[in-house]
């Protein structure tokens, strides 16, 4: 047996005429290296995907804006409906109180609004006024069929148009809404009557007439 010298490894036999470089294996070409045509295709695909994302984002943004506008309209509609319901409820309540207010008014006209009844009546009128109730209807104002209800009719020589000459029941409104027209007695000008001239409205004589009517100088 032959003894191996320690520290030395046997080298494979190299054919004669071959260089050391030929003995080493050549490195394989890098995997995954794409040609130039594939890079252009990938770039075009990414651009198309970006356009799709932008389109989808625009659509979602438009949907969000439309939803926000619908929500704002919904809030305004709900608020408007809430105010309308409140006004209707107040009008219904005050309509039920109108006979009581009429009784208070008649008691005041007859001097019967005294003592504790006066305090309660005035408190009720104050609360009704705070809720927006307004009384209207006065003698001498022109008749308006939209706010007046004529219960009595007559002719008078001292009016030039249909006029409210007596308020039988006052009218009431809340804001611009009339909840009860004023019930009145009206008078119209007499047919064929001429307007009555006020006393002392005779025309004064002209300056020349005064001179002629004065005392003659001697």
pLDDT tens-digit series, residues 59-99: 999 999 999 999 999 999 999 999 889 889 999 999 999 99
Domain presence at residue 196: no
Query: Do 93 and 167 share a structural domain?
Result: no
Q: What mean pLDDT do residues 5-30 have?
A: 51
Are residues 76 and 109 both part of a single domain?
yes
pLDDT for position 24: 52
**15 belongs to a structural domain:** no
Query: Of residues 130 and 2, which shows the higher confidence score?
Result: 130
What is residue 218's predicted lDDT score, i.e. its pLDDT? 37
What's the order of all strands across the beta sheet hosting 171-174? 133-136, 171-174, 177-180
What's 167's domain CATH number? 2.30.22.10
When divided into structural domains, the chain yields a total of: 2
pLDDT, position 214? 47
Same domain, 111 and 146: no
pLDDT of residue 10: 52
Q: Please tell me whether residues 151 and 93 are part of one structural domain.
A: no
Q: pTM of this prediction?
A: 0.56
- Say yes or no to pLDDT of 134 above 50: yes
Residue 38 has pLDDT above 90, yes or no: no
Same domain, 142 and 72: no
3-class SS letters over the chain:
CCCCCCCCCCCCCCCCCCCHHHHCCCCCCCCCCCCHHHHHHHHHHHHHHHHHHHHHHHHHHHHHHHHHHHHHHHHHHHHHHHHHHHHHHHHHHHHHHHHHHHHHHHHHHCCCCCHHHHHHHHHHHHHHHHCCEEEECCCCCECCCCCEEEEEEEEECCCCCCEEEEEEECEEEECCEEEECEEEEEEEECCCCCCCCCCCCCCCCCHHHHHHHCCCCC
Identify whether 90 is part of a domain: yes
Task: Lowest mean pLDDT of 30-34, 42-46, 51-55, 91-95, name the range.
Answer: 30-34
Does residue 145 lie within any of the structural domains? yes
Q: Within this chain, do residues 102 and 169 fall inside the same structural domain, yes or no? A: no
User: What is the structure's pLDDT at 92?
Assistant: 92
Residue 16 located in a structural domain:
no
Look at residue 18 and tell me if it is in a domain.
Answer: no
- Say whether both 58 and 122 belong to one domain: yes
The pLDDT score that the predictor gives to residue 199 is 47
Give yes or no: residues 119 and 150 share one domain: no
Question: pLDDT (tens digit, 9 = 90+) per residue, 99-114?
Answer: 999 999 999 989 988 8
Question: How does pLDDT run across 143-180, given as a tens digit for each residue?
Answer: 999 999 999 999 998 889 999 999 999 999 998 889 99
- Enclosing domain of residue 157: 133-189
The residue behind tokens 């706010």 is 147
| 57 and 84 co-located in one domain | yes
Output the pLDDT for position 45. 83
Statement to judge: residues 98 and 154 lie in one domain = no
Give the pLDDT score at 209.
Answer: 46
Residues 152, 124 within the same domain: no
Query: Is 58 in the same domain as 79?
Result: yes
Boundary-marking domain end, from 131, 163, 198: 131
């Amino acid at each position: 047996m032959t003894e191996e010298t320690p520290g030395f490894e046997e080298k494979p036999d190299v054919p004669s005429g071959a260089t050391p470089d030929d003995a080493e294996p050549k490195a394989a070409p890098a995997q995954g290296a794409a040609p130039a045509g594939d890079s252009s295709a990938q770039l075009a695909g990414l651009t198309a995907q970006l356009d799709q994302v932008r389109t989808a984002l625009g659509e979602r943004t438009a949907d969000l804006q439309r939803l926000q506008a619908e929500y704002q309209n919904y809030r305004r509609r709900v608020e408007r409906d809430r105010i309308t319901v409140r006004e209707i409820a107040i009008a219904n309540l005050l309509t039920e109180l109108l006979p009581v207010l009429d009784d208070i008014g008649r008691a005041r006209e007859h001097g019967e609004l005294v003592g504790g009844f006066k305090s309660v009546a005035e408190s009720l009128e104050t609360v009704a006024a705070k809720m927006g109730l307004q009384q209207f209807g006065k003698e001498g104002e022109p008749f308006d069929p939209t706010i007046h209800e004529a219960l009595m009719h007559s002719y008078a020589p001292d009016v030039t148009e249909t006029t409210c000459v007596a308020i039988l029941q006052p009218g009431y409104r809340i804001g611009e809404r009339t909840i009860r027209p004023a019930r009145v007695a009206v008078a119209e000008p007499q047919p064929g009557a001429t307007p009555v001239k006020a006393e002392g409205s005779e025309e004064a004589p002209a300056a020349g007439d005064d001179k002629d009517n004065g005392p003659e100088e001697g």
